[in-house]
Structure 1
Amino acid sequence: MIVNGGIGMEIKQLKYFLEVAKREHLSDAALELDIAQSAISRQIQQLEDELQVKLFKRQGRNIRLTTAGKDFVIHATKLLNQVDETLTLFRQQESNNLYSINLGYEQGYVAERILPLIQTFERQYDSKIIPQQVSQDSTKQILVDALDVAITELTPTLQQNNDLNVTLLYEETYHLYLPKEEPLALAMNPHLAQFEGATIFTLTPLSTTMIALIEQLTKATLHVVTHPALAQYLLAQHRGFILAPDYQRLTVSSLDYKDISLNHTPLKRSICIVVRKENNKPDVQQLTSLIQTLFNRVSTYH
């Protein structure tokens, strides 16, 4: 219903009015609209009552527009054009949304591989990916369809939600650089507790679960330095140790520094794909399959 100045007009009333105005004959308009003549007469009468003017006058078997009716043809045409434009706009937006997949991803290895993923997908399918970096817990965004697919850390919250499909991708593991003069450089598979009180610089921001785990097991002081050259300088100056996920490497000499794998420790996190079970957008399933193909591995980084 179109409401204007307290007047409520239905779209069909405007359509009936314009068809009658065009043909100047109720029966011809009824035939064109494929409805009963009485239905058209009733709608025209209701429209005249709402406008409080006469739109037509009878001349024999035909009806003619009054002066007010001629004026209303202009306004009714504009109104219907606006309605059509609005409907077209919303339908186009809905179509665009239907073929747009909102993909959330965390900072890390996935972020480094997100461009090849998008390029490969969009070469094969009609949908377009709208990427956005997200925080650790994307559950709420997935549930309200702000995200269609998320590549994120597997958390108890995700595992316990029955409305989500959660598929494990890989485990993200870590390694540590330290000077060879350090006593720990000689240790075979050192425990995290052996780094108690150390100063540790990380090459990438860690998730809250990783930070909590490191602080719990090592009582170490953590600092983020995302620039490899700065990390190498700090390492050379014996300012602390450098912690990095396995996909990140420093160009340091093996003669001066030891690269220790932490795969044997609890310091790891699982990365998964999350999709709402009732998400029926086209190509979402194809995207999740492609993600598994490109990312599914067991502690192996390319």
Structure 2
Amino acid sequence: MELRHLRYFLAVAEELHFNRAAQRLQIQQPPLSQQIRQLETELGVDLFVRTTRSVRLTEAGRTFMEHAYEAIEVVERARKAAVMAAQGLTGKLRVGFTGSATYALLPLVAKRFKEAYPNAALEARGELITSAQVAALLSRQLDVAFGRLLAPVPELELRVVRRERLEVALPADHPLTACESVRVADLADQNFVTLPGRWGSTTYELTIRACADAGFSPHVLQEVSQTSTVIGLVAAGFGVALVPESCRHINVTGAVYRPIAGEAPRSDVVMAWRRNNEMPLLRQFLALFDHEI
């Protein structure tokens, strides 16, 4: 049984006249009658009662008609879904966000995605450090990620989507909060709270580099796995931290942010994806964010 058999059957069932049905289908009447006979033979039942004056559905024909409509509808929905998938309008996109981008960019990205592609799904994973994002992209667990890469990765395409600098996160009662900006050198005798260096955190590497440029090695009191926890410990007075400026979106009582005096280290947000990922929905997503956000 082929889809055309169902279409032929429905045309005759609706018209109850083989000639009119053939004209509607733009075919000759004898081939139409032959196709209906083949369908009845395949089903093993008569679908129509035919006389020289009329055509009417049998009980089997009326039952088959209901299911034929359903089958046509299913096929049509499948066709539309396939076309939309090929155009990148449906499907699921898996997106990863580094710590600060979870709070600064995820709401913006998710809102814009939902408005542009209401029939597609976005699976967001937040608070991923850079090394975890790269691993997830290369292992095809993520389709695209917003992170802070210091060096190119051969298998990945990178695009800067937000330019940021590091800032200093301080406890609210810290004396340096009285300053409009803070020199990194002024933090030499402070305890630091950071993301884990052993896990390949970009912010950790930038912190170590900034302190080295200022002439000291930071005393890291505690390493934690999430950016929000870094800010929480700073607010609790465990130490200070160098964090991307978008961490200001993490509004924790007791934590205060100050810009770094002079030329602050850059910590740009990049969008990364696999070079060989030809997923149509990804291509639509990349077009949606083809400029800085």
- TM-score normalised by L of structure 2: 0.59
Distance 2:13 2:253 in 1: 82
Distance 2:255 2:68 in 1: 75
Aligned letter for 1:231?
Answer: V
Aligned letter for 1:41?
Answer: S
Q: Unaligned 5+ residue runs, structure 2?
A: 176-182, 210-216
The reply to whether residue 231 of structure 1 matches residue 234 of structure 2 is yes
> Pick from 136, 147, 154: which aligns with 2:149?
154
Distance 2:24 2:254 in 1: 83
Q: Name the structure 2 match of 1:71.
A: 59
The 5 A counterparts of 1:16-27 are 16-27=8-19
CA displacement at 1:44 relative to structure 2: 1.4
Larger Rg: 1
Aligned residues: 255
The 5 A counterparts of 1:134-145 are 134=126, 135=128, 136=130, 137=133
SS of residue paired to 2:269: strand
CA displacement at 1:111 relative to structure 2: 2.1
Distance 1:82 1:59 in 2: 29
Deviations 1:260-281 (CA, angstroms, capped at 9, x unpaired): 959989x865421236775655
Deviates more, 1:245-254 or 1:110-119: 245-254
Q: Name the structure 2 match of 1:169.
A: 162
Distance 2:233 2:219 in 1: 23
SS of residue paired to 1:160: coil
Aligned letter for 2:27?
Answer: I
Report sequence identity in percent.
17
Gap change, CA 1:232 and 1:110, over 3 Å in 2: closer
Distance 1:253 1:133 in 2: 25
Distance 2:184 2:208 in 1: 19
Gap change, CA 1:76 and 1:139, over 3 Å in 2: farther
Distance 2:142 2:71 in 1: 28
Deviations 1:89-140 (CA, angstroms, capped at 9, x unpaired): 5537975971799564332056235445666x589x7545947234342686
CA displacement at 1:242 relative to structure 2: 1.9
Q: Name the structure 2 match of 1:98.
A: 89
The 5 A counterparts of 1:1-302 are 9-56=1-48, 58-60=50-52, 62=53, 64-65=55-56, 70-87=58-75, 89-90=77-78, 91=80, 98=89, 102=93, 104-109=96-101, 111-115=103-107, 121=112, 126-127=116-117, 130=122, 132-134=124-126, 135=128, 136=130, 137=133, 147=143, 150-154=145-149, 159-161=153-155, 164=157, 166-167=159-160, 169-175=162-168, 190=185, 200-202=192-194, 208-210=200-202, 213=205, 220-224=220-224, 226=229, 230-235=233-238, 241-247=239-245, 248=247, 261=260, 269-274=267-272, 278=278, 284=285, 287-289=288-290, 292=292, 294=293
SS of residue paired to 2:58: helix
CA contact (8 A) 1:201 1:243 kept: yes
CA displacement at 1:154 relative to structure 2: 2.5
Distance 2:42 2:243 in 1: 72
Aligned letter for 1:105?
Answer: F
Superposition RMSD in Å: 5.2
Q: Name the structure 2 match of 1:238.
A: none
Bigger strand fraction: 1
Gap change, CA 1:228 and 1:285, over 3 Å in 2: closer
CA contact (8 A) 2:244 2:267 kept: no
Q: Unaligned 5+ residue runs, structure 1?
A: 1-8, 181-187, 236-240, 295-302
CA displacement at 1:51 relative to structure 2: 1.5
Q: Name the structure 1 match of 2:212.
A: none
Gap change, CA 1:101 and 1:280, over 3 Å in 2: same
Gap change, CA 1:146 and 1:33, over 3 Å in 2: farther
CA contact (8 A) 1:151 1:273 kept: yes
